[in-house]
Every structure is written in C-alpha cells, then in structure tokens.
C-alpha cells in the first residue's frame, strides 16, 4: 500500500511537471505570436495556457481587445480586476471596454482607479471627462439618419467613398482552410473593392479594383483625384510576395499612388515620406488636390497616431507638417477627410469620444485649427465610428463606417437640418388664466414671409421656424396691448425649442399702471441705471403700440412737506418723459404730472405711523393711457 502511494505520488509529480512545461510552452508561443502582431494565433496558445493558470489572463484579455473582440476581452478583464497583484494598466483597457458597451458610470470608477496610479495620463483624463458629459452627445438625435449597406460575403467592410458613378471601399472575408490569412485578424487580407448602382439605384455586386492595386497583403483606405484617374491608397509594406519588416520585426503601412490606364490601375509609386520604421496611411486629398492629409505614427508626434499634411510644391510633396496639439492628442487620430468647404473630418479615440473612435470636425482659420467638435449620436456611437465623407454633389448625404453591429460595416447617412419650433402661451397679465383668440404673427426678416396663427382654447400656439433666420414676433388682440419679441436661429447647429409666453393686458383709458422697481436716490430725480431698465420696457410697449398716448406720473409718500413732495414728484415725472423721448418716443404722445402725496394707495397719510414697506408702496411711478389715436 505504501509502495503504491509512493508510485502514485511520483506519477502526479511527473504529470504536474508535464502540465507546467505545456503551459510555459503555450505562453512562450503566445508571446512570440503577440510580438509579431499575429493575434489570432497568439489567442490559440494563450487560451490553452489560460485554462490551466491565470498567468496569461491580462495578456489574453489585451489580445482579444486588440482584435476588437470586446465582449470576450471585457469578461476576462472583469475577472482580472478583482484579483490581487494585477497591473493597474488593465483598469484603463477595462474602462474603455465599459465605455464601448455604454456602461459610463462603471467606466468612471475604473478610469479613476487608473488615474490614481497614472496621474498624468492625458487620454484617460479626456475619456473620464467624456463619461461625465456623455449626455451632450445626445443633444440632438435628429440630425443624422444611418442606413446600412449590406454585403454578407464580407466580414468587415469600411472606408467607403464616392468614386465616379459608384463607390470604393475596403473589406476582408472569412478565410477557409488553405487560404492565406491575416495573422492579426484571422480573416483574409484587406482589399479595395468597387461597387456601382443599377438602373433602380440598388448597389450591384462588388468587384475588386482592377490592375496592380490589390496584392497579397493589406490594401486600405484610398482617395481619388477629381477626374478619377489617380488614386492614393494605403498598403502594407511588401515587395512582390514578401512582407518587409524593420529591425523590430514590424511591418508598417505606406501610401502609394497609381494611375488609371485602360480601366486598370497601374504605375504604382511610393509616397516620398514612407518609411520602414513607422506607418503612413489613410490619405485624403484637398479639393484643389494641392494638399494631402494622412495619418502617421512617425517620431515627434503627440500620441499613438497623428494627422499630418504635405503640400504639392515644385513638382513634389513637401515635408510633412503635424496638424498640432489642438487636433492631435496623446491618443489616436485617424481617417482624415477634407470636404470641398475645407472642413477637416477625422476620427479619434480621445478628445470627448463616446467610446472607441468618434468622428470629429475642425476648421482651419488660416492660423490655427478650431477645437474639434464631436458629431454626436447617432452618427457616432459607443463603438468605433470612422471613414466619414460627404457626397460631392449633395452635402446632406455621405458615408460612414462603424463597428456598432459588432463588426466594421458601411452606412449611408442622410443629414437633416436642425428643427426649430416656437411654443407659446397667452395669459392674462398677473394671472394664470389662458387667453384664446390671440393672434400671433412671425415675420422672417430675411424672406419677409409672414406666418400667422391664433391661440387655441388653452391659450397655446406652436409655429415652426427656419434655420439661419431672424424673426419678429407680434402678439395682438383687439382692445389689448400688442406685445412683440425677437427670435433668431442664426448659427444654431442643433435642434431647439423656443418658448414665448405673452401677457395679455386690456387697454383701459385713464387706468394707472405701476412701473415696478422705479427708484430714485434720496432727494434726487435723475434716472438711475436700474430705473432705466424698467423704463426701457415702457419704451418697447410704446413702440409696439404706436397709436396710444400716455401720461407719466410720479408719486411720493406722505413724509416731508406737501409742496416739496409735489415739486420733487413733478421733476421725477419730467425726467421719465425726457428718457422716453431720448429713446425715440414722439413727445406729442407724452404728458407728465407729479402728484406728490395726493394719491396715496394706502392709509399712510400725514402723522399716521406706517412701516417702511407701506410707505414704499406710495413712492411709485405710473403711466396711464389717455388716448388711442
């Protein structure tokens, strides 16, 4: 029995040793593939090691993350962050995955944990702020409407742009046994395809671009000249049938150009600033074709990948210029696109991204780039959104790519103008009672177009407004004061509702109307700035109602000499009238009178003890309509 136990124990020890060797073998193989960016192969080995130990947990999660398999990566990170002695850096990746799944509140927790250790990480700080302000990304969900372009034969399809009467895009496919595949994704290498529309406007079957563009390895985003006879495109660094690598065994991207000869792309040439040591890609031409914008991780940038430009000068491309720290961040800026209005569109996984890559817009004023603006949901999502461009003939239509469907897919978008509505209520002055039958007119100052409606039985009205317009509003009812207002939609990019509540007040001849908050310094009659604000309201009322004449009156309390109060109130009434005249009111419509303490509104007469508040009620400025012309 004892001998058997010794033999069994020895067998177990040998088995454990063999398992340990097997685990280390798979870790080593996985690391080898990982270093070669052969992630699909690395995962096979990491998974086998992970089934026996947690040693490769972080590496496996990171590999799935780099392959954009966020669901699996997230589940592994979720376990990893609960264990002790893990790298604090996994907080960052896990937080980004939480963002991509729309779990912003939880992402905040892990960004904060990460920033406790890496306090100077600018990208993490940017994304943390994005989580707090995520509501801003949904400020107007009506501006864009996306429609998928479906081709089931492709695993990923993206960066679609207009070309001639159709479009060109980048895509890969699932690889079956024996076919050459990308070690990064496990799919085919990326190629450039062309699609055209049939007579009914439906997209026809895709065709590979003809000629020498598509080779054995990756071809990526492209940009075409206006005449369609030249293309600049992204390509893996390879010669004939062999990948070229640098000293770090990295295969970088390069920009190539080609010309169209007899419907085939020929005469491939390298962009002069390509390098074996860093990537250059995602080219886009300016409208005058004298500037090329592109992406690179060349030394001297601000982060992972930056945006650069080069100008066509003296029959050659100038030295690349980094677009600077306003556009570029410590994160990744990619997929630039320049429209005919010189607006720069690009994608970034920093700035105020919703998660992953978002599409941003910036303008150059001749000196500096404007702060990039997020194009918001639904054009952007919590996933990767990129490859944005606009139709040359219709600025309300274009293409964008997105991984919101768990793979990179192509979409056509329709851009709608912002919607503006005016909602209003007519109420009796000083009451909440709604008033029916009030006529509301709005006049477009640019077109002169008049839109009119009448408040319903609830005193409500609603009107639609045009973008980029100034409006004058008139609220009228027979026998009542006319009220006016102004509304402007000039420069507004997002849909907005305007609200206008009109007080309806009947015109009663010789009925005093108190002007609130008209105060004078002690023993003075000059119009103070605070009193001027209230008199300005009367100026507006008089201009809105040019047929009325009024009397301005001033009153004092009972304290002081009766004659003195009469003189002081008269001076104050005169000062108010002079202010109205100076503000453009015809003096023939105005009279004035100081009543001193003759028209008290309460019991606070001479020798009657009253509070300061009670006396204040008597120190008032009023007007009354004396005539309607």
- Please report which confidence band the pLDDT of residue 21 belongs to, taking 50, 70 and 90 as the band edges: low
Report pLDDT digits (tens) over 405-455.
989 999 999 999 999 999 999 999 888 899 999 998 899 998 999 988 899
Q: Are 279 and 245 in contact (CB under 8 A)?
A: no
- In the predicted model, what is the mean pLDDT of residues 170-193? 85
- Please report which confidence band the pLDDT of residue 241 belongs to, taking 50, 70 and 90 as the band edges: low
Encoded tokens for 407: 């793979």
Between β-strands 420-428 and 439-444, what pairing exists: parallel, antiparallel or unpaired?
unpaired
Cβ neighbours for 342, distance < 8 A, ≥ 6 positions apart: 286, 287, 363, 364
Q: At 275, is the secondary structure helix, strand, or coil?
A: coil
CA distance 140 to 164: 33
Tell me which H or E stretch contains 107. Answer: helix 104-117
Q: Please, which contacts does 171-174 make with residues 24 or more away whose CB atoms are closer than 8 Å?
A: 171/206
- Please report which confidence band the pLDDT of residue 18 belongs to, taking 50, 70 and 90 as the band edges: very low
Tell me which H or E stretch contains 29. Answer: helix 2-35
Q: Are 354 and 137 in contact (CB under 8 A)?
A: yes
Q: Which of 520-529, 564-573, 612-621 has the lowest mean pLDDT?
A: 520-529
CA distance 554 to 485: 28
Report pLDDT digits (tens) over 364-410.
988 899 999 999 999 999 999 999 999 988 889 999 999 999 899 99
Query: Is the predicted pLDDT of residue 300 greater than 50, yes or no?
Result: yes
Report pLDDT digits (tens) over 57-84.
888 888 888 888 888 888 988 998 988 8
Query: Is the predicted pLDDT of residue 243 greater than 70, yes or no?
Result: no
- Please report which confidence band the pLDDT of residue 240 belongs to, taking 50, 70 and 90 as the band edges: low
Q: Are 168 and 209 in contact (CB under 8 A)?
A: yes
| pLDDT at residue 246, rounded to an integer | 59
Could you give phi then psi for residue 435, rounded to 5 degrees? -120, 120
Give me the sheet containing 344-348, strands edge to edge: 333-338, 344-348, 358-362, 373-374
CA distance 615 to 603: 9
Query: Is the predicted pLDDT of residue 33 greater than 70, yes or no?
Result: yes
Query: Is the predicted pLDDT of residue 222 greater than 60, yes or no?
Result: yes
Q: Please, which contacts does 232-238 make with residues 24 or more away whose CB atoms are closer than 8 Å?
A: 232/256, 232/257, 232/271, 232/283, 232/285, 232/292, 233/192, 233/257, 233/258, 233/283, 234/281, 234/282, 234/283, 236/189, 237/274, 237/276
First to last CA, the chain: 125
- Please report which confidence band the pLDDT of residue 299 belongs to, taking 50, 70 and 90 as the band edges: very high
Encoded tokens for 272: 């002069």
Q: At 111, is the secondary structure helix, strand, or coil?
A: helix
Between β-strands 166-172 and 191-196, what pairing exists: parallel, antiparallel or unpaired?
antiparallel
Report pLDDT digits (tens) over 84-126.
888 888 999 999 999 999 999 999 999 999 999 999 999 999 9
CA distance 33 to 533: 75
| pLDDT at residue 9, rounded to an integer | 40
| pLDDT at residue 248, rounded to an integer | 58
Task: Map out the domains of the chain with their CATH numbers.
Answer: 20-138 (1.25.40.10), 144-415 (2.115.10), 420-504 (2.60.40.10), 513-628 (3.30.1330.60)
Encoded tokens for 462: 């609603």
| pLDDT at residue 177, rounded to an integer | 64
CA distance 512 to 377: 55
Cα angle at 423 between 418 and 425, to 5 degrees?
170
Per-residue DSSP letter, 589? G
């Amino acid at each position: 029995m004892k001998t058997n136990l010794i033999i069994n124990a020895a067998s177990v020890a040998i088995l454990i040793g063999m398992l340990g060797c097997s685990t280390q073998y798979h870790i080593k193989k996985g690391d080898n593939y990982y270093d070669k960016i052969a992630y699909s192969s690395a995962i096979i080995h990491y998974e086998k090691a992970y089934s026996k130990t947690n040693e490769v947990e972080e590496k496996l999660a990171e590999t799935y993350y780099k392959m954009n398999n966020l669901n699996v990566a997230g589940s592994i990170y979720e376990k990893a962050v609960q264990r002790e002695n893990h790298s604090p850096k996994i907080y960052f990746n896990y937080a980004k995955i939480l963002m991509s799944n729309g779990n912003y509140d939880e992402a905040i927790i892990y960004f904060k944990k990460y920033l406790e250790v890496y306090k100077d990480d600018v990208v993490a700080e940017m994304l943390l702020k994005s989580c707090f302000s995520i509501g801003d990304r949904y400020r107007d969900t009506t501006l864009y409407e996306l429609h998928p372009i479906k081709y089931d034969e492709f695993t990923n399809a993206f960066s679609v742009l207009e070309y001639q009467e159709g479009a060109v895009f980048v895509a890969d496919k699932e690889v079956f046994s024996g076919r050459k595949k990308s070690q990064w994704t496990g799919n085919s290498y990326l190629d450039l395809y062309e699609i055209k529309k049939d007579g009914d406007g439906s997209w026809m079957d895709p065709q590979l671009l003809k000629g020498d563009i598509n080779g054995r390895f990756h071809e990526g985003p492209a940009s075409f000249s206006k005449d369609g006879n030249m293309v600049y495109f992204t390509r893996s660094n390879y010669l004939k049938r062999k990948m070229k690598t640098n000293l770090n065994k990295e295969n970088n991207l390069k920009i190539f150009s080609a010309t169209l000869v007899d419907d085939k792309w020929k005469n491939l040439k390298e962009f002069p600033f390509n390098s074996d040591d860093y990537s250059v890609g995602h080219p886009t031409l300016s409208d005058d074709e004298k500037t090329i914008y592109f992406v690179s991780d060349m030394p001297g940038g601000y982060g992972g990948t930056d945006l650069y430009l080069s100008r066509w000068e003296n029959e050659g491309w100038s030295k690349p210029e980094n677009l600077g720290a306003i556009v570029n961040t410590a994160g990744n800026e990619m997929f630039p696109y320049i429209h005919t209005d010189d607006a720069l569109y690009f994608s970034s996984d920093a700035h105020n991204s919703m998660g992953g890559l978002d599409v941003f817009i910036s303008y150059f004023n001749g000196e500096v780039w404007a702060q990039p603006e997020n194009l918001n949901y639904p054009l952007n999502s919590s996933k990767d959104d990129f490859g944005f461009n606009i139709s040359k003939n219709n600025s309300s239509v274009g293409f964008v790519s997105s991984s919101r469907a768990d793979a990179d897919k192509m979409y056509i978008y329709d851009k709608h103008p912002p919607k503006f509505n005016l909602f209003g209520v007519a109420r009796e002055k000083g009451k909440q009672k709604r008033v029916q039958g009030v006529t509301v007119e709005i006049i477009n100052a640019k077109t002169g177009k008049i839109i009119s409606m009448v408040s319903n039985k609830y005193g409500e009205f609603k009107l639609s407004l045009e973008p980029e317009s100034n409006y004058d509003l008139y609220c009228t009812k027979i026998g009542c004061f006319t009220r006016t207002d102004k509304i402007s939609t000039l420069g507004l990019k997002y849909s907005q509702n305007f609200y206008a509540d009109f007080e309806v007040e009947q015109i009663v001849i010789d009925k005093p109307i108190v002007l609130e908050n008209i105060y004078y310094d002690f023993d003075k009659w000059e119009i103070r700035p605070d009193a001027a604000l209230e008199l300005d309201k009367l100026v507006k009322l008089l201009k809105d109602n040019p047929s009325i004449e009024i009397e301005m009156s001033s009153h004092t309390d009972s304290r002081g000499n009766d004659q003195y109060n009469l003189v002081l109130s008269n001076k104050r009434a005169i000062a108010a009238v002079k202010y109205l005249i100076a503000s453009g009111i015809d003096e023939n419509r105005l009279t004035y009178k100081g009543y001193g303490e003759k028209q008290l509104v309460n019991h606070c007469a001479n020798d009657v003890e009253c509070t300061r508040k009670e006396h204040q009620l008597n120190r008032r400025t009023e007007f009354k309509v004396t005539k309607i012309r």
